Amino acid sequence: MEFKQIYTPGLAHCSYVIGGKSACIVVDPAREVTQYVAIAKSLGLPIKGIIETHLHADFVSGHVELAKMTGATIFISAQAKAEYEHYAVADQEEIEFDTLKIKMVDTPGHTPEGSVFIVSDLERGPEPALVFSGDTLLVGDAGRPDLFPDIKDQLAASLYQSLQKIKDIGDQVEVYPAHGAGSLCGRALSSKLSSTMGTEKMYNEALQIHPEDSFINIFLEGMPEAPDHFSRCSEINRKGAPSLSTLPKPVGYAPREFLALAESGYIVVDTRDMLAFGAAHIPGAYGLSLKGNFATFAGWVLPPDKPLLLVLDSASDMAAALKGLYSVGLDQVAGYLDGGMSAYANSGLRTARLESISVMELHERLARNELLLVDTRLKSEWDQAHIANSVHAPAPDVRKRFAEWTGERPVAFICNTGNRSLLASSLMLNLSGRKNIINVIGGTSAWIAYGFPTV
């Protein structure tokens, strides 16, 4: 049996290529599918199958494009009601593929159509060897059941039953999930990207909580914020995303034309470092540094129905920016600033600025009660430790809460390093019309490293 795990940073997404003697299957592919074609070629095996464990919420999958490129069959639970050409797999159905036997088990909970695929390597024997657990069972956790608020209690109950259904498939069976630590598809994911059923039964709290009522209460409490794009990506994956090769190529615009488009309603996405953005940026730009969790926060805050314009630090950043945007279904990338901010500065056009301060200056100004501090990290990070008297608001929530922070004092934003607070600061600048907005560079990591107190 051939086996490869592919990890996508930023999304913390795991996909797989598994093969027998004469063909291979891709499991939960990312949107960029040429990587799987290259792996299959290196193995000397054609791609004949594609498995989708569920309709992914946090990213757009490339299953339809990969099927068109290779002629492979897409296997997905009949419960998904997928609109593209596929093989609808029934609960408990077994499929023999080359030297592999694959059994699909419906495991609703994280999503209504969630499933796991249990694989036996028939070259070694009929017993299960591994399970592609999707987002049903994660290493150290289980998939969050609250992505569909209207039926979250029902999904939490289903998740409990689903976990009971699969926990006894064999302690030796290897577990390969769709996500690892850093994903918002769960709450306490491990940084390990694989495990065994025996290890998870011993240490994964999701498999140890009983009875069902307790499980439901625990799994619906304290979940991280669900990004806006989760429901959008899920629906795109049910219908099938357009092939990347069919998307229009972004156009380079000279500064005056670029600014005119921005002022006409195009959205400017500035992907540069926080210091470069702070020094000078195009008025109205979103500060979304490629050094942060670019794809997730782009999907979370950028409007999907408006054309996007990119500001890049260098031309070499284009590929990473497009990959991140396309991975969360933001396909309307109209163009980029030709020559970057250097060309824009030389044109003499109007710019905006964002004040940046270090944690040392923050400490001094807090002591003098000179500013309001807003912590833009997730609730779990805030609960662990935060600066006294700071206000908590995850960066995307600035869109709804900016009007709360009134008064004469400047508003300073902080996260763990300065990237999420950069986004929050840019949102505050654009929505409030205020100028006295501050980004704290270095963030809480620098604050703690310097020895300043937290509560």
pLDDT of residue 223: 80
In which region does residue 12 sit, left (phi positive, over 0), alpha (psi from -120 to 50) or beta (all else)?
left
187 — pLDDT class (breaks 50, 70, 90): confident
pLDDT of residue 371: 96
To which H or E segment does residue 19 belong? strand 13-19
Contacts for 82-90: CB closer than 8 Å, 24+ residues apart: 82/52, 82/55, 82/238, 82/240, 83/238, 83/239, 83/240, 84/239, 84/240, 89/115
The answer to whether the CB of 389 falls within 8 A of the CB of 413 is no
Nearest to residue 62, comparing CAs of 329, 435, 354? 329
Evaluate if residue 184 carries a pLDDT over 90.
no
Locate 241 and state its tokens: 């995303």
Cβ neighbour number for residue 218 with a 10 Å cutoff: 14
- For the chain, give the number of residues: 455
Rounded mean pLDDT of the chain? Answer: 96
* CATH T-level fold of 2-239: Metallo-beta-lactamase; Chain A (3.60.15)
Locate 339 and state its tokens: 């020559």
Amino acid letter, residue 27: V
pLDDT digits (tens, 9 = 90+) for 3-36: 999 999 989 999 999 999 999 999 999 999 999 9
**Mean pLDDT, rounded, for 294-299:** 96
What is the SS3 assignment for 263?
helix
Evaluate if residue 185 carries a pLDDT over 90.
no
Evaluate if residue 130 carries a pLDDT over 90.
yes
257 — pLDDT class (breaks 50, 70, 90): very high
Distance, C-alpha 394 to centroid of its chain = 15
Least reliable range by pLDDT among 105-109, 112-116, 146-150? 146-150
Locate 129 and state its tokens: 């060897």
Cα separation of 54 and 47, whole Å? 20
Cα separation of 293 and 368, whole Å? 33
Within this chain, domains 247-347 and 355-450 share the same CATH topology: yes
400 — pLDDT class (breaks 50, 70, 90): very high
CATH number at 247-347 = 3.40.250.10
To which H or E segment does residue 437 belong? strand 437-440
DSSP 8-state assignment for residue 80 = G
Q: The CATH number of 355-450 is which of 3.40.250.10, 3.40.50.300, 3.90.420.10, 3.40.50.1010?
A: 3.40.250.10
Q: Name 308's bridge partners.
A: 267, 333
**Mean pLDDT, rounded, for 361-384:** 95
Domain positions in the chain: 2-239, 247-347, 355-450
Inter-axis angle of helices 443-450 and 359-367, to 10 degrees?
A: 80
pLDDT of residue 222: 78
Cα separation of 206 and 229, whole Å? 26
Locate 29 and state its tokens: 């592919």
Cα separation of 155 and 108, whole Å? 7
Nearest to residue 399, comparing CAs of 300, 328, 267? 300
Cα separation of 433 and 352, whole Å? 12
What is the SS3 assignment for 83?
coil
Evaluate if residue 182 carries a pLDDT over 90.
no
Strand residues in 135-227 grouped as ranges (E): 137-138, 141-142, 174-177, 195-196
pLDDT of residue 265: 95
To which H or E segment does residue 159 belong? helix 152-166
Evaluate if residue 455 carries a pLDDT over 80.
yes
Evaluate if residue 224 carries a pLDDT over 90.
no
**Mean pLDDT, rounded, for 427-445:** 96
Asked whether the bond before 255 is cis by omega within 30 degrees of 0, the reply is: no
Strand-pair category, 13-19 with 24-27: antiparallel
3-state SS track over 237-282: HHHCCCCHHHCCCCEEECHHHHHHHHHCCCEEEECCCHHHHHHCEC
pLDDT of residue 250: 97
Owner of token pair 């704290």: 440
Cα separation of 67 and 50, whole Å? 7
**Mean pLDDT, rounded, for 168-194:** 93
**Mean pLDDT, rounded, for 233-242:** 96
Backbone angles phi, psi at 7, to 5 degrees: -110, 130
438 — pLDDT class (breaks 50, 70, 90): very high
pLDDT digits (tens, 9 = 90+) for 150-179: 899 999 999 999 999 999 999 999 999 999
Per 3-state DSSP, what percentage of the chain is helix, strand, and coil (rounded to 5)? Answer: 35, 25, 40
